[in-house]
């Protein structure tokens, strides 16, 4: 009896897998807000751009393509850049977006400027169950998350109890990712966009503010901190000025994610630039290998005080528009200098 149940269970799992795989090939991919419009635009006009910014809101709202291109031109390097970022986007979602954007690309690519983040296993509560969370849960990303559960920590002094706790925390989150993978295979998660289209008369996923643009969007929130937020930030900044963040290589799978992005840049003939965005934290994730890449680390406030000045911050984690302009010019200058040293 047990053997029959096992055989039936295995047959069900195999049949389900074949069914969802066939369904996922027959139906258009799930479209994600912010990113869907950008991917559509690049599918039509991607050859016009040779430089791409990829990352979270710290790239989406802080690296401004027209300012970057002007600064690069002032240093003798011509670029036409596009901000292919989304709020909250980090590995492994960013890998999925890059694969979608560059899968069939043959045009010349000069630079891939990617925010240097480790793999994030936890889903944001506000994204869970939405098209934004569903769209990147393909089989390749599920394999990344599975490997990440067991990935070897690269801190030699990490205690066994902490390693076990990390594994258990990640394993506990796998069922939620599996659920999103099933929804992705069945192309679930687009109902809200479809309903919005009926109400406002736009195509599902269309965002008129980003289609036809360079992908950058000015933030809607306030430009300056105040009150308790400002006071707490100034205290944290004073402490960080004395103690810069230490480099942290996290784990083997997070480093493998960086290596896959570098391999994608190599395939496109582009220079790989990893950027550590400017915000306060005790440790900064960094590439273990710097061979063939440019790594720009803006995590130390003592080294880049203008990026941490309260008058240039929207909140503790983000620059305001003035700060973003300063930051974009700084990134462009440092990339131009790196290209001159290693053309």
CB 14 within 8 A of CB 118: no
Q: In Å, how far are 113, 162, 234, 277, 324 from 231, measured between CA atoms?
A: 33, 33, 5, 22, 22
Q: Is 199 contained in some domain?
A: no
Q: Is 169 contained in some domain?
A: no
Containing domain of residue 63, as a range? Answer: 33-122+208-341
Q: How far is CA 121 from the centre of its chain?
A: 13
Structure tokens belonging to residue 207? 């965002």
Q: Is 200 contained in some domain?
A: no
Give the number of domains in the chain: 1
Strands 313-315 and 318-319: antiparallel
| CATH code, domain with 258 | 3.40.50.1110
Report the C-alpha gap between 330 and 341 in whole angstroms: 17
Q: Is 232 contained in some domain?
A: yes
- Provide the residue-wise pLDDT of the chain in tens; the chain has 343 residues: 545 444 444 444 444 444 444 444 444 678 888 899 999 999 999 999 999 999 999 999 999 999 999 999 999 999 999 999 999 999 999 999 999 999 999 999 999 999 999 999 999 888 888 889 999 999 999 999 999 999 999 988 889 999 999 999 999 999 999 999 998 887 754 544 443 343 333 344 445 445 547 999 888 778 899 999 999 999 999 999 999 899 999 999 999 999 999 999 999 999 999 999 999 999 999 999 999 999 999 999 999 999 999 999 999 999 999 999 999 999 999 999 999 887 6
3-state secondary structure of 45: helix
Degrees (nearest 5) of the Cα angle 198, 33, 213?
100
CB 282 within 8 A of CB 246: yes
Q: Is 130 contained in some domain?
A: no
Q: Is 82 contained in some domain?
A: yes
> Any long-range contacts for 314-318 (C-beta under 8 Å, 24+ apart)?
314/219, 314/221, 314/222, 314/223, 314/224, 314/225, 315/221, 315/225, 315/229, 316/225, 316/229, 316/232, 316/233, 316/236, 316/279, 316/280, 317/58, 317/279, 318/57, 318/58, 318/61, 318/62, 318/219, 318/279
């Amino acid at each position: 009896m047990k053997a029959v149940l096992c055989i039936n269970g295995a047959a069900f799992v195999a049949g389900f897998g074949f069914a969802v795989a066939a369904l996922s090939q027959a139906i258009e991919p799930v479209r994600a807000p912010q990113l869907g419009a950008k991917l559509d635009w690049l599918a039509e006009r991607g050859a016009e751009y040779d430089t791409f910014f990829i990352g979270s809101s710290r790239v989406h709202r802080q690296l401004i393509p027209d300012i970057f291109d002007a600064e690069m031109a002032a240093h003798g390097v011509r670029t036409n850049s596009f901000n292919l970022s989304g709020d909250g986007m980090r590995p492994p979602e960013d890998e999925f977006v890059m694969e979608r954007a560059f899968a069939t690309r043959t045009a010349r690519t000069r630079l891939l400027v990617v925010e240097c983040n480790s793999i994030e296993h936890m889903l944001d509560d506000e994204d869970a169950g939405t098209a934004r969370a569903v769209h990147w849960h393909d089989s390749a990303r599920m394999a990344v998350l599975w490997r990440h559960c067991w990935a070897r920590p690269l801190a030699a002094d990490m205690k066994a109890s902490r390693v076990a706790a990390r594994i258990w925390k990640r394993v506990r989150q796998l069922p939620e990712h599996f659920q999103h993978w099933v929804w992705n295979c069945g192309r679930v998660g687009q109902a809200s966009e479809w309903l919005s289209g009926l109400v406002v008369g736009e195509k599902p996923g269309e965002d008129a503010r980003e289609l036809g643009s360079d992908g950058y969007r000015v933030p809607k929130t306030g430009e300056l901190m105040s009150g308790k937020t400002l006071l707490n930030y100034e205290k944290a900044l004073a402490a960080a000025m004395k103690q810069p963040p230490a480099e942290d290589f996290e784990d083997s799978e997070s480093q493998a994610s960086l290596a896959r992005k570098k391999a994608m840049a190599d395939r496109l003939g582009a220079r790989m630039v990893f950027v550590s965005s400017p915000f306060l934290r005790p440790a900064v994730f960094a590439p273990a290998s710097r061979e063939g890449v440019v790594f720009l680390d803006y995590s130390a406030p003592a080294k880049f005080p203008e990026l941490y000045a309260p008058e240039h911050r929207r909140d503790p984690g983000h620059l305001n528009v003035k700060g973003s302009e300063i930051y974009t010019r700084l990134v462009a200058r440092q990339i131009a200098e790196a290209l001159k040293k290693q053309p």
